[in-house]
Structure 1
Amino acid sequence: MTIDPERLQRSQERERELKAMMVAALDGDEAAYRQCLQGLSKHLRAFLSRRLTRDAAEVEDLVQETLLAIHCQRHTFAADRPLTAWVQAIASYKLADWFRGHGGRLGRLDPLDDHENLFADDHGLAGEATRDVRQLLQDLPQRWRVPIELTKLGGYSVNEAALASGMSASAIKVGVHRGMKALAQLARKQI
């Protein structure tokens, strides 16, 4: 597959712009936050429409749920990491939740970890980062991995994560705390 340099440059520029807006938003800039969410909405619709073609209303519901999860978990965004990978992970978990909740009522479903990714013009950069995060998570014991997947990536509250996993709320808190420390150590080893 040949990568179009202009397309790659546009994708990288869009990543920089959205990331700058998110960083400004985290510093309290409400206008930047609105712009960032509007920019992400367009790409989330494209990402989710490729995977769920049954009903435009269902796609829009998932876009809104994903934006809400982004809002609730914005404090977990690390400015030294790609925004696109973080957003794609949240969108993927929201989509997986939707499929679980709808008992297999599928539209067209492409694998979540395929070479397509959140940004239509991106050539695998976000996908590679997502695979890296997923690989790091797979290296964690389940007692730490599940709480992180549910709370940090899935947008669940501690109590919701406890109900979904069958773990206690305190086990979820401990799992997130210890798991995040372990993830940081694993990431440092790979740099």
Structure 2
Amino acid sequence: MSEPSDLEARLRALMLASLAGDAAAYRTLLSELSQHLRRYYARRLDSALAASGEDLVQETLMAVHTRRLTYDPTQRFTAWVFALARYKMIDLFRRQRLRITVPLEDDAAIFARDEAEDTSARMDLKTVLDTIPERPRELIRQVKIEGASIAEAAARVGMTETAAKVSIHRGLKALAARFSGGADNDR
């Protein structure tokens, strides 16, 4: 079997080609995913639910198809598919009113670790920061998220340290006002 990074690269390339309109790449992607999903579900479903495995494969492939435009090409494709597969299995358990613990330790051989929450948080953060002007947004990203010093961030955007501090302060204040429901009043 291929290394996980080889699998990720191949499946991601097929997904990107299919998003660009390559029907052959899309057929290949769905075919490869169905093989991996069958193994994924076979390892996780007990004998009472084994017959549901193929239904889950089909439901997951349908989810890939209907949600393919939500895939963020800057993120791992296998993490995205893993999240869809996991949610389909949880839906089955809910329908069956089951409480089953699912061992996830051997997913690395087939799928990347579940980065859905990390990806969602990064997308939420980007959406929030996009509500403020570019310069304070960039300064906040560099200083508060990436850990750069104010001096480093100021130099990168061509500002003095004092101006950068003021810009960061005003940007954070604008975000706080926007998302707390309060007004942006200077005191």
Q: Give the TM-score category using the shorter length.
A: 0.5 to 0.7
Aligned counterpart, 2:73: 79
- The structure number with the bigger radius of gyration is 2
Change (3 A) 1:34 1:104: same
Aligned counterpart, 2:35: 42
Aligned counterpart, 1:93: 87
Sequence identity percentage: 42
- What is the TM-score when the length of structure 1 is the normalising length? 0.59
Contact 1:85 1:129 in 2 (8 A): yes
Distance 1:42 1:190 in 2: 39
Aligned counterpart, 2:109: 120
Size of the aligned set, in residue pairs, is 132
User: Which of 77, 93, 97 does residue 103 from structure 1 map onto?
Assistant: 97
Shift of 1:116: 2.9
Change (3 A) 1:186 1:59: farther
Counterpart of 1:33, as a letter, is Y
Distance 1:76 1:14 in 2: 21
Counterpart of 1:116, as a letter, is D
Aligned counterpart, 1:184: 126
Aligned counterpart, 1:16: 9
Q: Deviations over 1:78-127 (max 9, x none)?
A: 11111100000000111101100112286xx414xx3332x6355xxx21
By relative contact order (CA 8 Å, sep 6+), the higher-ranking structure is 1
Superposed CA RMSD in Å reads 2.8
Contact 1:116 1:127 in 2 (8 A): no
- What is the TM-score when the length of structure 2 is the normalising length? 0.60
Gaps of 5+ in 1: 1-6, 138-179
Shift of 1:185: 4.6
Gaps of 5+ in 2: 130-140, 147-187
Contact 1:50 1:110 in 2 (8 A): no
